[in-house]
């Protein structure tokens, strides 16, 4: 059984059956009948076959199973109908009033009705289904009454036999009932799988009309008119075409169901039963008044009575439904009131003139008014005068049935409302038209004072600093753009200020105390600037001042100097201690071609220049400052690239024993060849220190020099290595480990390595520096103080730090034999070194008399151009091989 069902599901089987049945119908039609009827029958059969084939093919491609089933029912109904029409000419000669062909045709009509009902996109349920059935009865009964008065009554008179009349009339009545029953499932266009539903309904209507004509002709003993068959082919061809448009209509139906045109069409369909009742009543009255009502009066009377009964029941049902809907509306409004009251909203009813009719109790809690004070008054009396015109315009728009942006019948407004205490409260309100037909508006009002205050606070925090309360960087940048965009902006100036030494404050007393100090500094600076100047905290310990209209350049400079004095005039009191700070200030002036970003940058560059020069000073921006900054940035980038591309080389300057002329050590010096261009060390060592690249560069020098000197020592040359340390290198996290690793990798004994530091390093971060150098000394590495005599704390640290060597600064050596004071100072340093048991090395020996004086003073070692210039590693090897016991000729 299952396999048979599957076969009939196959469209090819169904199409083959349709073709066979069409052929049977055509053969039967050709067997008899008049030529015109024959042609009409052939056309109807062919159109029905085409519709069946089209519906079967379209159903195969439909994804929706319900609609695919509807299409198959319609196709099966078309096939069955064409068979009934095809064989009817053969059965017309029989003595039976109702033939087998009539039964087949009625079965096909029933199948078409089922398919039409299934084609609805949204079938009716519950009350809607009952309403559709009532409307179907009214329509069918009204049409029957009209048909009885115009056609069936005279036919009944001529037939004479009531039984024959009833049997002949059964087929068209059955078709009429089916057509009206399924009509209301597809006639509201929002329900139809358009255009298949209406097309199928048109086929049913044509079949009903054809059956009515056939029945009347049989009762009169005549042949049906030749033209009655021609609407049927047209209707079936329409159905065949509609089968391929239904799928796209499904996608459109949801959208079109809410369109105004769709709603209007649905309203017209709902009025069809009433129109038919009116038409039937009018026809009956005309016939009665004209005295031409034929046939039994009881038939139209009974049918009319059933219509009245259905309409009365429908009326009572409508009244009950209306009452229920009104109660639901009232309940909804009450729930809306309760909901609004529970959220703190004030609910009121007013007319379009603003007169208050009702108001909720929440108005007393929110605004301080008693409800009875407001009823009868106008809402405009409590709205801020500046907001009244906008509210009146909104109410006028709603009264004219204009649909606001928010949606149909809804208007949202923001205004200020006066509370009972006289304050103006920002509010947000929504007005909605009453749905009960009353000329009133339902208004819900919410006090948004808290939200407004929060928004203002957020806006303030967005453009103000939370620590100092001053405008922040974003506000300052925006304000600068506005000022420079105005005419006469060339008189504007920007002042940048940085607190010198503020980092030490955070490190010593903590960030909370640092923030407190920033607040004190902000108050001092605020008192020092003019009221129309913009003072902002730029970030960290930096502040910025915008002079919107400086009278002249001296005005901005005077302000900058006043700010320096304000900061350094007296200490700041923080955490029960006095902290003295100074300030570095930069000034930049606007001109016609400078942007706000460039002006701020220029002031920042000038401030950085003031800080480089020692702080507590004012610097005015000059073009070369920006060029210097750009050069430094480019140099920093080139330094990083040079490290990656191995552009650095090491040269070694020999250190000799002045007594024996033997090379005892070499000092490793870094050189940079940028391509074929030599970059002097004084040009790149400073930027390398500032950017931190000095750390990886120094580690590379340490590894390479240790490896080279270890190789020379392996060749039985007792030679040591000296290296200069930078401040950043000493404070690097793994500094001691990197030295230990370089010694282990190269095999150089720690005692052969001497690390040199300058006196300034021992003064800054003294405790940490001495600790790390002591760790190196613990490894066996020797320590030396470079440029001895130029610092401030040499003697103190000679006691704390186990130094092995001091190196006399070249500035002392250069004056030997020419300056008695420098000669005396040099002699004193040499004697001090001997007394402390230290090795004394003189740097910068360039003249023979300098060498002789150093020997005479008893200086241990020396280096300089007179002894040997810095050279590459192969040069050192040659020098070691050729140098025996004397210095170069002429020394």
pLDDT in tens, 436-457: 556 788 888 888 888 888 888 8
* Res 94: pLDDT: 53
* Res 96: pLDDT: 53
Q: Return the number of other C-beta atoms located less than 10 Å from residue 133's C-beta.
A: 15
Give the residue among 78, 138, 156 at the shortest CA–CA distance from 277. 138
Q: Are 440 and 351 in contact (CB under 8 A)?
A: yes
pTM for the whole structure: 0.48
User: Where does residue 875 rank: exposed (0-12), middle (13-18), buried (19+ CB within 10 A)?
Assistant: middle
Angular region, 503: left φ>0, alpha ψ -120 to 50, beta rest:
alpha
CA-CA distance, 129 to 184, in Å (whole number)? 9
Half-sphere exposure of 259 (CA within 13 A, CB side): 11
Give the residue among 874, 378, 872, 806 at the shortest CA–CA distance from 651. 872
Angle at 780 between CA 776 and CA 781, to 5 degrees: 55
CA-CA distance, 593 to 549, in Å (whole number)? 17
Question: CB neighbours of 111 closer than 8 A, spacing ≥ 6?
Answer: 73, 74, 76, 77, 80, 81
3-state class (DSSP) for residue 819: coil
* Res 77: pLDDT: 85
Low-confidence ranges of the chain (pLDDT < 50): 1-33, 190, 226-227, 246-262, 402-408, 884-891
User: Where does residue 221 rank: exposed (0-12), middle (13-18), buried (19+ CB within 10 A)?
Assistant: exposed
Distance of CA 835 to the CA centre of its chain: 76
CA-CA distance, 368 to 361, in Å (whole number)? 10
Integer distance in angstroms from the first to the last C-alpha of the chain?
126
* Res 329: pLDDT: 73
Of how many residues is the chain composed? 891
> Where would I find the beta strands (DSSP E) of 730-774?
753-758
CA-CA distance, 29 to 22, in Å (whole number)? 10
Q: Are 597 and 620 in contact (CB under 8 A)?
A: no
Torsion angle in degrees (nearest 10) through CA of 419, 423, 426, 429: 20
CA-CA distance, 567 to 580, in Å (whole number)? 9
CA 568 to each of CA 44, 496, 746, 855: distance values in angstroms, whole numbers, following the listed order:
110, 16, 53, 51
Q: Cα-flanking dihedrals φ and ψ of residue 343, to 5°?
A: -90, 0
Q: Are 876 and 660 in contact (CB under 8 A)?
A: no
Q: Return the number of other C-beta atoms located less than 10 Å from residue 358's C-beta.
A: 14
Q: What tokens does 737 get?
A: 């480990």
For the chain, what is the radius of gyration of the CA atoms? 54
Residue with tokens 């009875």: 372
3-state class (DSSP) for residue 238: helix
CA-CA distance, 627 to 52, in Å (whole number)? 89
> Where would I find the beta strands (DSSP E) of 772-847?
782-788, 805-808, 839-843
DSSP 150: I
Q: Are 475 and 536 in contact (CB under 8 A)?
A: yes
């Amino acid at each position: 059984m299952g396999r048979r069902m599957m076969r009939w599901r196959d469209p090819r089987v169904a199409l083959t059956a349709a073709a066979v049945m069409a052929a049977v119908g055509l053969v039967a039609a050709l067997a008899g009948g008049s030529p015109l009827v024959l042609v009409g029958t052939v056309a109807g059969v062919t159109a029905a076959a085409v519709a069946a084939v089209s519906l079967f093919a379209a159903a195969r491609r439909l994804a929706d199973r319900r609609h695919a089933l509807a299409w198959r029912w319609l196709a099966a109904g078309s096939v069955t109908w064409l068979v009934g029409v095809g064989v009817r000419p053969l059965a017309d000669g029989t003595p039976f009033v109702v033939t087998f062909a009539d039964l087949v045709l009625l079965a096909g009509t029933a199948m078409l009705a089922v398919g039409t009902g299934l084609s609805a996109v949204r079938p009716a349920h519950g009350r809607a289904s009952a309403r559709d059935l009532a409307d179907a009865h009214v329509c069918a009964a009204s049409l029957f009454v009209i048909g009885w008065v115009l056609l069936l009554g005279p036919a009944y008179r001529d037939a004479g036999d009531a039984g024959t009349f009833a049997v002949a009339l059964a087929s068209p009545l059955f078709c009429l009932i089916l057509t009206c029953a399924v009509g209301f499932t597809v006639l509201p266009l929002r329900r139809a799988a358009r255009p298949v539903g209406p097309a199928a309904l048109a086929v049913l209507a044509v079949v009903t009309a054809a059956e009515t004509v056939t029945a009347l002709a049989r009762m009169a003993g005549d042949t049906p008119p030749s033209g009655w068959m021609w609407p049927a082919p047209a209707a079936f061809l329409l159905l065949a075409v509609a089968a391929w448009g239904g799928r796209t209509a499904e996608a459109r139906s949801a959208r079109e169901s809410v369109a105004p045109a769709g709603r209007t069409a649905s309203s017209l369909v709902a009025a069809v039963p009433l129109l038919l009742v009116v038409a039937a009543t009018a026809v009956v009255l005309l016939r009665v008044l004209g005295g031409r009502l034929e046939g039994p009066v009881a038939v139209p009377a009974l049918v009319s009575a059933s219509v009245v009964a259905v309409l009365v029941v429908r009326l009572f049902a409508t009244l009950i439904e209306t009452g229920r809907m009104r109660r639901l509306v009232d309940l909804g409004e009450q729930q809306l009131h309760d909901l609004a009251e529970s959220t703190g909203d004030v609910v009121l009813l007013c007319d379009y003139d603003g007169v208050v009719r009702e108001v909720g109790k929440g108005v007393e809690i929110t605004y301080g008014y008693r409800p009875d004070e407001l009823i009868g008054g106008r809402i405009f009396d409590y709205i801020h005068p500046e907001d009244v015109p906008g509210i009146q315009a909104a109410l006028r728009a709603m009264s004219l049935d204009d649909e606001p942006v928010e949606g149909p019948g809804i208007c949202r407004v923001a205004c200020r409302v006066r509370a009972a205490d006289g304050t103006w409260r920002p509010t947000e309100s929504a007005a909605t038209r009453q749905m009960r037909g009353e000329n009133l508006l339902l208004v819900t009002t919410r006090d948004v004072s808290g939200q407004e205050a929060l928004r203002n606070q957020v806006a303030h925090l967005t453009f103000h600093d939370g620590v100092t309360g001053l405008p922040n960087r974003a506000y300052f940048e925006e304000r600068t753009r506005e000022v420079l965009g105005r005419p006469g902006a060339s008189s504007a100036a920007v002042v940048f200020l940085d607190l010198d030494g503020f980092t030490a404050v955070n490190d010593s007393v903590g960030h909370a105390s640092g923030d407190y100090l920033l607040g004190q500094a902000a108050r001092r600076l605020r008192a020092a600037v003019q009221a129309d100047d913009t003072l902002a905290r730029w970030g960290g310990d930096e502040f910025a001042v915008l002079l919107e209209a400086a009278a002249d350049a001296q005005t901005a400079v005077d302000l900058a100097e006043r700010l320096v004095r304000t900061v350094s005039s007296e200490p700041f009191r923080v955490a029960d201690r006095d902290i003295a700070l100074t300030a570095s200030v930069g000034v930049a002036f606007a001109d016609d071609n400078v942007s706000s970003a460039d002006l701020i940058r220029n002031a920042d560059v000038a401030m950085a220049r003031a800080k480089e020069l020692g702080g507590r000073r004012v610097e005015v921006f000059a073009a070369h400052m920006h060029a210097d900054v750009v050069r430094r940035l480019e140099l920093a980038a080139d330094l990083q690239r040079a490290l990656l591309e191995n552009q650095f080389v090491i040269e070694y300057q020999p250190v000799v024993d002045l007594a024996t002329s033997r090379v005892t050590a070499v000092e490793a010096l870094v050189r940079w060849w940028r391509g074929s261009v030599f970059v002097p060390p004084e040009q790149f060592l400073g930027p390398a220190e500032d950017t931190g690249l000095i750390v990886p560069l120094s580690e590379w020098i340490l590894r390479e020099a240790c490896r080279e000197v270890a190789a020379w020592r392996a060749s039985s040359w007792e030679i040591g290595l000296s290296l200069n340390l930078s401040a950043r290198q000493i404070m690097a996290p793994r500094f001691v480990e990197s030295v230990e690793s370089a010694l282990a990798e190269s095999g150089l004994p720690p005692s052969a390595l001497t690390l040199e530091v300058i006196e300034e390093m021992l003064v800054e971060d003294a405790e940490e520096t001495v600790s790390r150098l002591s760790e190196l000394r613990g490894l066996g590495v020797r320590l030396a103080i470079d440029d001895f005599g130029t610092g401030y704390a040499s003697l103190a640290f000679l006691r704390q730090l186990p130094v092995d060597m001091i190196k006399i600064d070249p500035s002392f050596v250069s004056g030997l034999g020419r300056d008695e004071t420098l000669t005396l100072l040099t002699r004193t340093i040499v004697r001090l070194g001997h007394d402390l048991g230290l090795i004394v090395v003189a740097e910068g020996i360039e003249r023979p008399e300098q060498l002789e004086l150093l020997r005479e003073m008893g200086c241990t070692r020396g280096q300089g151009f007179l002894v040997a210039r810095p050279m590459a590693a192969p040069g050192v090897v040659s020098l070691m091989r050729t140098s025996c016991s004397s210095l170069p000729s002429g020394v």
